[in-house]
Every structure is written in C-alpha cells, then in structure tokens.
Structure 1
Amino acid sequence: MTLTARELMDRLVGFPTVSRDSNLELIDFVEEYLNGFGVKATRVPNEDGTKAALYAHIGPQVDGGVVLSGHTDVVPVDGQAWDTDPFTVTERQGRLYGRGTCDMKGFDALALSAVPLALERGIKRPLQIALSYDEEVGCTGAPPMIDHMVSMGLPRADTVLVGEPSMMKVVTGHKGSIGYNVHFHGFEVHSSLAPTGVSAIMMGAKLINWANEVNAENAAKPPSEMAAEFFPPYTTLHVGTISGGTAHNITAKDCRFGFDFRIVPSDDIGDWHARLMAKVAELEAEMKAVRPEAGISISRKFHVPGLRPEQDGKAESLVRKLTGENASNVVSYGTEAGQFQERGYSAVICGPGDIAQAHQPNEFITIDQFQQGEAFIARLVDMLAD
C-alpha cells in the first residue's frame, strides 16, 4: 500500500525512537514498507543488536545516483512542556507538531515517498535511501552504515543529500565536532581538611573554566576566511552535563561530565585534541602531587568531521538546479554529511524545516515547508528519470 508523505510522517513520528532507546520498530516498518514495492533493504545493526541503520537501492545497478540520508533517532521530551502528544503529529494553524517533524522524520518521510514515484517513473539513475541511528548523540550510527554501503559494492552515488532542516536552502559546509567522557577521580577527606584530599569537582571545575577561557580567546580573535560565514565564527568548547560528589562536607571522590568541541573547518581536530590532553595532563599532575591515587580518565565518545565546501561539487550542483538557490550557506550543527564526504562522496545538506525548532518543546514543521520538500522530491525523481 502506498502512503502519502504526510501519512509516512505520521507513522514515523509515532515511533518514540529517542536515542537512548531502540529504533527497531521503526526499522521494521520501513523494511516492510519497502518490501511492499519489491525493494530489498539492508540492515546494519549496532553491536548489541538493539538498533539498526538501513539502506536500500532503487533503480538500475549503475553508478551516478543520489542518496537521500536521514537519521531515525530523536532527542528526549523529558522535562519539556508540550501542549500536544509529542509522538502524534498534530496539525494546528499551518504547522505540524510532534517530536521529529522538523528534525528529521519529516525528511525521512519525504525520502520514503520518493520510492513509489521512482518506480513509477522508471528512473535511469538510481535512488538510494540511507537511514541511520544515534545521530543525536554524535552521529555514531552512520559510519558503519556508510562502510557497509562501500564494502558491499553498492553502486556509487554522485550525490549524498542529507535532509537536515535548512529551510530548503543549500548548505555546503558545517562544523565538525568531537566529544569526550571525562572522569575526575578525587580523594575523599573531611572538607575541613580539604588541602589533604583532592576534590574531583573542584579539579573538574578547572577544566571547565579552561573551556570558558578558550571560548573567550577564540571569540576575541578575528575569524579565518573559511570560518567567517559560521555563527559563531570560531571553535567552541562546551560542557552540557555534570555529576559527582557525595555530601557537602566531603571532598568529592568523583566528577563526571561530557566535554565537546564544535570545530570550524579551518581548525584541525587533532590540534584541539592535543590541547585538551595537554590540559588534562597538567591538572592530573596537580592532583597526583597531593594524592597519587587521584587522576583523570578521558575517552572519546564521538568524532564527526566537518563538511567542507567542494570545488565544483556534484552534490551542490545538482541540488542548486533543483532548488534554484544560489546563495552560500553554512551551519554550525553537525551531520553525517561530513562522514559521507570523508569516504569520498560528494555531499550537501538541504531539507525542509527550521533548525531553530529542533529539540524544542512543541517542535514543528510548517505545512508550507513540508510541501516545498514534497515538490523538491518530485523534481529530483523527474531528474533521475530523464
């Protein structure tokens, strides 16, 4: 049974695929839907089998096609004040509300709606669908999917179109990012004897304060030519979660937090890694000078390469023809576009919706933006058929 793009979005939003949970019910649905058109989907499960990415090939077994890439996970709704059920699409005053309507199950629905159109039109260049997991926690699900697409000899596409919300503008660059799990191991003593112990929280605060200082330094420097288009036009350091301590009168034994970088393409990710590790080594030496048992554990949790504008890129050229959009656009959020590009694909971002609505309570996409996405997909299929 063929579903409209809107019906597909209703179904996809109905699966509560928060990153901490499984996405397999959604993947089951997509696989069954594609199978209904005789399209075989390939799953790429995660290590414990609780999640899976999925890709599919439609059309002739030749190179030169287009990949429509999106992620299936969404951010949590915990603690957010929603006026409607976040996992049911609700239409009000020209808007479609629901978690993922904007970021980015709306685009996933549009990508799936292209399948029956492509089969009906008899496309001459292939269409490929690629749906990943765990994008919201560091784009960790896309790399094994991309590697599988390459290693299995899937016909090589000329264009990867990542449909993150860009208001249907053509985005040719985004920041890269790296994230770490940091654990400060302190030494507990009564807080009245604080100099004889090591407070993991107090020492962890020194690394966080270093992040504030570096942010201020970066903001004060004139931006490089490549970074000038971004907002902000420099690399930023960020700590979003923190936990630790036992009681107000005990030097904290533990302090854990995430430490992330958003890196402009003109900066080298390896250089920022080295700077962080040097600061960690400095603080660890300070801790061990008081108590040798103290220390710092740090591990990388994700690495997302930036998307670099391509010279005469096939992806950019194709999407500009489809949209008629000639302006140069970059974004500060990360996507799997850089991961596809790192593996030799030409990649670009273009999708319906406003990123300002992503992750918000009462997330929405306007009906107008969704309809612009539908028209874009129809033009893409026509181009593949010519």
Structure 2
Amino acid sequence: MQTVDILKTLIGFPTVSADPNDDLIAYCADLLREAGAHVTVIRDPVQPKANLYATIGPLDRAGVLLSGHTDVVPVTGQNWSVPPFVLTESEGKVYGRGTADMKGFVACALSAALRAAKMDLKTPLHLALSYDEEIGCVGVRSLIDLLAAAPFRPMFCIVGEPTEMRVATGHKGKTACRVRCSGREGHSALAPTALNAIHLACDMIAAIRAIQSEISRTSLPDDDYDIPYSTVHVGRISGGVALNIVPNTAEFLFEIRNLPADDPQIILDRLKEAAQDVLKPLHQSFPEADIQIETTGSYPPLATGRDTEVVSFVTSLTGGNATIKVAFGTEGGLFSTQLDIPTVVCGPGSMAQGHRPDEFVSRAQLAKCDRMMDALLNRLVAGIQG
C-alpha cells in the first residue's frame, strides 16, 4: 500500500487531542496484524484512546523504533481553504490537518512496515504510535512503561516529527504550570480596602518577565537553536466576575522551555521566592493572601551527541551530514532519558506548516522519507549489530 493512500485514511480520522483516537489505532492495528506484525494496543483506562506498539521481524532481539503521535491540534477558528480532515492534493502538496505534524511520517512508517513484513529481517522493525502528544507527551507514558518492562528495548529510535528530513539531535524540555492567586473581594468603589487577585497575578507575571530578561542576557546560549536560551512564557490568564467587584481569585498558565543544560526547577524555585516577596508585605492586612504554583505537566529535553552511533546510522539512511536542533518538543526526550534509547528526530515536512490552516506536506518530502525507510529496511535485512 502506498504512503499517500495510507495518509488519506489517517487524515480522515479527526484525532484532535480532545477527541478519541480509537478508530485510527484500530485501523493501524488491523493493517499491521494482517501483514503478520506482532501488535500490542495499550488502552487508556478512562478515555477512548490508545497507544500501539508493533514489531515486524524477530522478537528475541533489539530493533529500530519508529515513533510518532496520532493526535493533531484543533482547527477551530482557522480559515481553511480545503477540508481539514479530507486529503487534498494540489501542485505537489498534500493538504490536511496532520499531514506535516505528523501523520505524514506515520503513513511512511506504516507503508515501510507492510514492505518489511514481506522481507526476512535479521533486525526487527518496531513502530510506536501514541496519543495526546500535543498536550505534553501525555499518552506515551504507558508505552514507556511497556518498553521499560520488555526483555529487549530498541537499539535506536527515530521520532518522525517534521524536520524536512534533516537529523535533529536535540530539543528543549517543557514544564507547564498553573499559578493560582487568592486575594479578598470587595466593592470596586472601595478597591483599596480589598486585595485584587488580578494584581497579584500581574506581579507574578512581572517576576516571570524579569527572570526571562535575565536568562536571555546572562545564560550560556546554544546557537544551534532558533532561540538560543531557555524561555518562560505566559499563555493564558483569567480572573474576575464583574468590573465593579474586586476579584478574590485569578490564575494564569505559564511554561518553561529549557535547554538541556538548564534545570527548570531552579526557575520554579526563583518564582516561588518571588511569590513570597509579593505576599510578605500583604499578610498583616490580608492574612488570606496566597499564591500557589502547580506543575501540571513536563517532559525532558533531548540531547543526543553528534558523534553517537544513532546519528551516524540515521544520517547514513538520509544521505545528509549536518545535524540540527529543533524548537518544539517530542517524546524523544522520554525515550532517551527514561529508557536510555539513543534517539534522534527526523521526518518529512516542516513544522512551519504545523498548527496552521491549510497544513501540508509535499510529495517530494514523503518520497524522501520513503527512501529513508527503504534504506532502513535494507539495513534490517542485512542485520545491525547492537
């Protein structure tokens, strides 16, 4: 089955992170089982969602893992000129939500698996398809647990996020947090006698901005990244019920995207100190004043050395020599840090097209990925010493 045919089916499943991915996983599982793959489906205990792990070839040794996520970001509020969940081709481009991020790679991996099933592999091919990556690499955790208990772990991992088929050796980590501020309500005509929780939130946001400014000025940069330093970003704020009421609660969400060399806990500790500095002069008059910082999710950075075996292996498949680092995060940091699987990121398309209306991947990029897969299969047939 051709890659674009598989991709057409994958795009037809509207697997926005808030929605189920069961039907897509069932399609992939059936496709692989019919080809003779050993397939394990790991279901979420609460939601109609699942991960899939499949092996083609011998089960008594380590192989090469192709990893991708099945969820996509919403299309709500975006002005698409084509149906987002129907594959549309025009002038060498394939349009649809997820074509670049990252069902294009998933389609290439599935097509390769079907070809591999007809070959005599000495080294196995593994596929890992996960859910809820877009909301913080959430779903892949149960798949990580499965591999942690397995008798054989993959020797290498290729995460197929869009890199225009360049080999990426690193990405930043992410820590997502919620800040809840508590003050005292009151009539706005008597505002100075109350404690405005939105003002507390603004004081904390000012502290975040000050820390970000300091990081950008003083930290050791990594110029392989578009933004060569760790970042702290506030993405959402809420509070208040009416203009004439001083709000007693407010909250905002922020994230830390850290270079591998930077510890996000140090930034969190500084923000907790800043919270105490804000509250200290208020407690005598407003003992209920409070600022709570809660971590809601995180994943580690990826930091694979350029001179490692996985890099030379994957660059030999792509034909490229240079490596890059990417701004966005992946499950690769989890495979690397929690399972000690050497990992790189390499896939078709560009993240410049991801999360946007009229998302697309070019036919040329898919063909380039298919060629990488063919080179990989040839290596698996010959056998890889690991």
With normalisation by structure 1, the TM-score equals 0.94
Aligned to 2:373: 377
- Map residues 299-310 of structure 1 onto 2, 5 A cutoff: 299-310=294-305
Q: Which amino acid aligns with 1:239?
A: V
- Map residues 221-236 of structure 1 onto 2, 5 A cutoff: 221=218, 223-224=220-221, 227-236=222-231
Q: Deviation string for 1:276-335 (max 9, x for gaps)?
A: 322233334455444223323332221111111226423212101111211131111111
SS in 2 for 1:240: strand
Q: CA deviation at 1:172?
A: 0.4
Question: 151, 156, 160: which one pairs with 2:153?
Answer: 156
Tell me, in whole angstroms, the C-alpha distance in 2 between the residues paired with 1:356 and 1:91. 19
Q: CA deviation at 1:349?
A: 0.5
Tell me, in whole angstroms, the C-alpha distance in 1 between the residues paired with 2:44 and 2:286. 40
Q: CA deviation at 1:220?
A: 2.3
Q: CA deviation at 1:270?
A: 2.4
Find out whether 1:361 has 2:357 as its counterpart.
Answer: yes
Aligned to 2:166: 169
Question: 326, 333, 339: which one pairs with 2:328?
Answer: 333
Cα separation, partners in 2 of 1:250 and 1:10, compared to 1, 3 Å: same
Tell me, in whole angstroms, the C-alpha distance in 1 between the residues paired with 2:283 and 2:374. 63
Contact 2:37 2:117 in 1 (8 A): no
- Map residues 210-249 of structure 1 onto 2, 5 A cutoff: 210-221=207-218, 223-224=220-221, 227-249=222-244
Q: Which amino acid aligns with 1:270?
A: Q
Q: CA deviation at 1:39?
A: 2.0
Tell me, in whole angstroms, the C-alpha distance in 2 between the residues paired with 1:70 and 1:359. 16
Find out whether 1:262 has 2:264 as its counterpart.
Answer: no
Question: 185, 188, 191: which one pairs with 2:185?
Answer: 188
Q: CA deviation at 1:175?
A: 0.7
Greater mean deviation of Cα atoms: 81-90 or 323-332: 323-332
How many aligned positions are there?
381
Q: Which amino acid aligns with 1:298?
A: I
Greater mean deviation of Cα atoms: 130-139 or 283-292: 283-292
Tell me, in whole angstroms, the C-alpha distance in 2 between the residues paired with 1:267 and 1:68. 28
Aligned to 2:343: 347
With normalisation by structure 2, the TM-score equals 0.94
Find out whether 1:271 has 2:266 as its counterpart.
Answer: yes
Tell me, in whole angstroms, the C-alpha distance in 2 between the residues paired with 1:52 and 1:202. 42
Structure 1 runs (4+) greater than 6 angstroms displaced:
none
Unaligned runs of 5+ in 2: none
Cα separation, partners in 2 of 1:74 and 1:284, compared to 1, 3 Å: farther
Q: CA deviation at 1:149?
A: 1.6
Contact 1:197 1:290 in 2 (8 A): no
SS in 2 for 1:19: coil
Q: Which amino acid aligns with 1:213?
A: A
Cα separation, partners in 2 of 1:124 and 1:93, compared to 1, 3 Å: same
- Map residues 312-331 of structure 1 onto 2, 5 A cutoff: 312-331=307-326
Q: CA deviation at 1:352?
A: 0.5
Q: Which amino acid aligns with 2:184?
A: F
Unaligned runs of 5+ in 1: none
Contact 2:175 2:298 in 1 (8 A): yes
